Amino acid sequence: MTIILVVDDNEENLYLLQTILSKNGYEILQAKEGGAALSIARETKPDLVISDILMPGMDGFSFCRAWKNDSEFQQIPFVFYTATYTGFEDKEFAFNLGADGFITKPIEPDEFIQAVRSFLEQTSVKNSRVEQIISPDESIYYRMYNDILIHKLEDKLLELEQSNKSLTESESNYKYLFEHNPLPMWIYDLETLMFLNVNDSAIHYYGYSREEFLSMTLKDIRPVEDIPELSHNIAAAQQLYQFSGPWRHQLKNGRIIYVEITSHAIKYNERAARFVMAQDITERKNTEDALRLQSAALNSAANSILITDINGKIVWANPAFSRLSGYSSAETIGKNPRQLLFSNYHGREFYQKMWNTILAGEVWHGEIVNRRKDGSFYDEEQSITPVRNAWGVISHFVAIKQDISDRKKSEKLLYESEARLRLALNAANQGLYDLNVQTGETIVNDIYASMLGYDPETFVETNANWLERLHPDDREPASKVYLGYINGEVPEYRVEFRQRALSGEWKWILSIGSIVERDKNGLPLRLLGTHTDITESKKSVLEIERLLTESQRRLQRIGALRSIDTAISTNLETQLTLRVILDQVIEQLKVDAAVILLFNADRQTLDYASSLGFHSNRIENAQVKIGESLAGTAAAHGQMVRIRVAEEVEIDVHFAALLQEEGIEIYFGLPLFAKGNLKGILELYHRSELVPDEEWLHFYETLAGQAAVAIENAQLFENLQVANEELVQAYNATIEGWSKALDLRDKETEGHTQRVMVMTMDMASLMGFSVEEMVHIRRGALLHDIGKMGVPDAILHKTGSLTEEEWEIMHKHTLFAYDMLFPITYLRPALEIPCYHHEKWDGSGYPFGLKGEQIPLTARLFAIVDVYDALTSERPYRKAWSHEKALAHILVENGSHFDPMVVEKFLAYINEKQAQ
């Protein structure tokens, strides 16, 4: 262990350095002057000396001179640590004596430890430098020494005179601050833990008299169950000069509160003590605990989510987990996931590593095979996140789970398929390379060089050249895949990257390779593979992704409105909801205070509901009549009111007194309306100048809208009048808007969507679908071609025949529809028509080739209506068919394209309609 010799005549300095250095693993030797230090060093040689300068006996300068003149010690670093000798001449004299360092007080503990480590890491001072500097003429040394010492003594006398003069004032100020501070404060004895002094706030807050406090110890204000930890907590706090952290205290009336403790080590009546200040954080902690648990549970509601306690017992599971596992909520709660899902696929070490990771406070992420209730197995990608309580202790785990069975099957099929490919024999129109893995030399064909613009005759390829041509953003990931495959860490080499061509342009390359030769130790020798230029296809994919992303973003915004409404409606405690809103108002709008007044329709008044940021509770008495004062004026006119208090504005006397008492300079008042009904007022108060911009005002209105919705929600719940008609209308209007937007984008089929929707609804009614089912059928009909939003205009509006590749993209519009609509839970029941209306009765349709009754009935019904309307409508490339010709075509396709039963129903429907 590293030994440090600390030399200082001040007990507090010795104690402080002992605490800091010991905590960082150093062994400490102590002396109060240089002579004693030399004696100690001869018995136990230190690795570093830290010395004060002004000390009785042998002072620091004399000690340093003796140390550096002693051949036994001169190679050991010597560092001065002083608050007195801080001038340039002091440091110069110290370094002339041979000192290795000079630290000036005060200094932060972390900086001090960093300096100590630096001195310990330095090489020994060169002997030649020591001999030249520390051996001056004796008379010169003592003259310099006396000059500095006399100068410092004069400074000390002046400081002492000034300190004595201000001591009386400081003691008076301290006593006043201690006794009149609004926060509870006390001083306790380090040895006995007895209270030595308490202020009036502590007496008032904790309920004990001063005499009771001074007869108690710290144990008497801790809950009984916390006392075993008390000694450990106090010991940890006493290791630091200053300590802050959360504790629990118990008041005289038995109520337990959470407090934030700040304490300092002091001397009190010549005894070691600590000065303590306590702040009640009970309400904040309770709110944070409740919100933390809710937030962790709802973050990824699209996937299965479990919340367990520290022992792994399930305390909450979302509906997605029940759908994935087959277990109901009642079967899940209180069980350990392994009791329900254990597949016996993974060994004990797998689960032990998982638990070690999460118990260490780290997130575990990986793949696992689980078993459903019906006994079937599935692959799952899972992440488990530890959740800590306010004390930093892990209390719960949140597991987010996703079924990846289909993906794993696809990956396996892809790997098996590609393993059968003989890359060298299928390199037609592709770049072919043969890489010597050990030397990096590479043989390539002409196409490999030509696709990058190089002359095949002069082109030389190496692994280093390949790396140098890679795009900076692709260099690391491409190298990682290559090295991972070569080292056997990944099963295949397949990677896309950009390479710089001779012209400077970036080309997208698909590189596929396989090890074809290994040495006798099994290490790779040759990698054979192909390069394919995928630049054009990549551009098309990126354009499709951009269009799809844009459409999805718009849908997600609508979904977000639904999510926000759901989030608000799940919290039915009005006060907690209003407090959260006010927290966000003050945090986001950067104002000093805010209040929400609720409208009382019976009294026609605005009554206080909740506030934040006021110095007093005077605002809690607020009750304003409509049309009076600022709030009443805003409510009466339905508009924002904003004033500067300094301006001559007519204000109610009581309200003016509140503004003056709080020091308010700026006021805003915004009425809260929900469905056209006044719900209250959101008022903002600021104690300095505030000039908001349009974005600020818009966000203010947004938050006011959220507050109005929250209030409306709570009031509807309290009156048992929850309704969602406007939301349904908004969704229906949005769906029709999408339908119209699609018609506008595809002019050739304008009006098609409305016509097929009407016929589909007629047919659904004839076939006995329920009212609820017909709502979803209507939405599905309106959105049947929404997936075409993901098809590029160049393909959608092409007048000639489509190529095979273009048809492949066009056929994906049903899958695009699924990707766009499935994330919106509200629209999932309407997915059957958009996703399956191109499937055929004989299985020859797309996208999945479903056959017969595998195809949902709604999709089979819609398929006939869609074809009939398309045939009987005008198109730029053909005239509309007659009614008879269209029906004849449908009869031809009966049993191949169309469901015979549905054909029969449709013919009866269309003939009846024609007869009318």
Q: How many domains does the chain have?
A: 6
Same domain, 830 and 905: yes
Judge whether 696 lies within some domain. Answer: yes
Confidence of residue 414 (pLDDT cuts 50, 70, 90): low
723-to-194, 575, 712 alpha-carbon distances in Å: 61, 22, 11
| pLDDT score at 285 | 83
Same domain, 301 and 381: yes
Contacts of 689 (CB under 8 A, 6+ apart): 665, 666
Domain of 304 in residue numbering reads as 285-410
Phi, psi of 670 (to 5 degrees): -130, 125
Report the interhelical angle of 725-745 vs 771-782 (nearest 10°).
30
Rounded Cα–Cα distance for residues 508 and 506 (Å) = 7
Please report, for the domain that includes residue 104, its CATH number.
Answer: 3.40.50.2300
Confidence of residue 223 (pLDDT cuts 50, 70, 90): very high
β-pair partners for 442:
435, 461
Same domain, 275 and 329: no
| Region label for 334, one of left (φ > 0), alpha (ψ between -120 and 50) or beta (otherwise) | left
How far from the centroid of its chain's Cα atoms is residue 29's Cα? 48
Do residues 343 and 370 lie in contact, with contact meaning Cβ atoms separated by under 8 Å? yes
Same domain, 274 and 296: no
Same domain, 395 and 525: no
The half-sphere exposure of 120 on its side-chain side, counting CA atoms within 13 A, is 16
Phi, psi of 538 (to 5 degrees): -65, -40
Contacts of 464 (CB under 8 A, 6+ apart): 440
Rounded Cα–Cα distance for residues 856 and 572 (Å) = 40
Predicted confidence (pLDDT) at residue 675 exceeds the cutoff of 50: yes
Two structure tokens written together for 905: 């129903």
* Amino acid (one-letter) located at 462: T
Predicted confidence (pLDDT) at residue 566 exceeds the cutoff of 60: no
Instruction: Specify the 3-state DSSP secondary structure of 247.
Output: strand
Judge whether 876 lies within some domain. Answer: yes
Mean pLDDT score, 336-348:
88
Same domain, 893 and 827: yes
Do residues 626 and 634 lie in contact, with contact meaning Cβ atoms separated by under 8 Å? no
Could you tell me where the beta strands, DSSP code E, fall in 413-554? 431-436, 441-444, 461-462, 493-500, 506-518, 524-533
| pLDDT score at 559 | 39
Confidence of residue 719 (pLDDT cuts 50, 70, 90): low
> What totals of helices (H) and strands (E) does the chain contain, helices first?
34, 27
| Region label for 841, one of left (φ > 0), alpha (ψ between -120 and 50) or beta (otherwise) | alpha
Rounded Cα–Cα distance for residues 792 and 548 (Å) = 10
Confidence of residue 303 (pLDDT cuts 50, 70, 90): confident
Phi, psi of 546 (to 5 degrees): -65, -45
Same domain, 186 and 100: no
Confidence of residue 294 (pLDDT cuts 50, 70, 90): low
Judge whether 147 lies within some domain. Answer: no
Q: Over pLDDT 90: what percentage of the chain?
A: 43
Long-range contacts of 230-236 (CB under 8 A, 24+ apart): 234/193
Judge whether 562 lies within some domain. Answer: no
Contacts of 672 (CB under 8 A, 6+ apart): 596, 678, 679, 680, 681, 682, 704, 705, 707, 708, 711
> 9-27 pLDDT, tens per residue?
888 888 889 989 998 999 9
* Amino acid (one-letter) located at 810: M
Higher pLDDT, 743 or 309: 309
Please report, for the domain that includes residue 612, its CATH number.
Answer: 3.30.450.40
Confidence of residue 424 (pLDDT cuts 50, 70, 90): very low
Judge whether 13 lies within some domain. Answer: yes
Same domain, 241 and 342: no
| pLDDT score at 545 | 74
Mean pLDDT score, 398-402:
91
Residue at which a domain ends, from 694, 718, 742? 718
Same domain, 290 and 325: yes
Residue at which a domain ends, from 678, 697, 718? 718
Long-range contacts of 583-588 (CB under 8 A, 24+ apart): 583/612, 584/703, 585/612, 585/682, 585/684, 585/703, 586/612, 586/613, 588/699, 588/703
Two structure tokens written together for 95: 């370094």
Predicted confidence (pLDDT) at residue 788 exceeds the cutoff of 80: yes
Judge whether 231 lies within some domain. Answer: yes
Same domain, 300 and 438: no
Among 266-280, 587-601, 641-655, which is the least confidently predicted range? 641-655
| pLDDT score at 92 | 87
Per-residue burial over 850-870, b if 16 or more Cβ lie within 10 Å, else e, is beeeebbbbbbbbbbbbbbbe
For residue 124, what is the DSSP state?
Answer: P
Rounded Cα–Cα distance for residues 560 and 592 (Å) = 30
482-to-476, 490, 511, 518, 667 alpha-carbon distances in Å: 10, 9, 10, 16, 64
Two structure tokens written together for 199: 């202020």
Torsion over CA: 292, 294, 297, 300 (sign): negative
Rounded Cα–Cα distance for residues 129 and 107 (Å) = 29
Same domain, 586 and 667: yes
Rounded Cα–Cα distance for residues 108 and 517 (Å) = 61
| pLDDT score at 209 | 94
Among 184-198, 557-571, 660-674, 862-876, which is the least confidently predicted range? 557-571
Instruction: Specify the 3-state DSSP secondary structure of 195.
Output: strand
Phi, psi of 757 (to 5 degrees): -65, -45
Do residues 682 and 670 lie in contact, with contact meaning Cβ atoms separated by under 8 Å? yes
Instruction: Specify the 3-state DSSP secondary structure of 364.
Output: strand
Between the two ends of the chain, the Cα-to-Cα distance in Å is 103
Mean pLDDT score, 741-751:
63
Do residues 624 and 608 lie in contact, with contact meaning Cβ atoms separated by under 8 Å? no
Same domain, 584 and 529: no
Contacts of 172 (CB under 8 A, 6+ apart): none
Residue at which a domain ends, from 365, 385, 410? 410
Predicted confidence (pLDDT) at residue 139 exceeds the cutoff of 70: no
Judge whether 566 lies within some domain. Answer: no
Judge whether 34 lies within some domain. Answer: yes
| pLDDT score at 124 | 46
Q: Over pLDDT 70: what percentage of the chain?
A: 84
**What's the whole-model pTM score?**
0.29
| pLDDT score at 426 | 44
Rounded Cα–Cα distance for residues 201 and 209 (Å) = 11
Please report, for the domain that includes residue 263, its CATH number.
Answer: 3.30.450.20
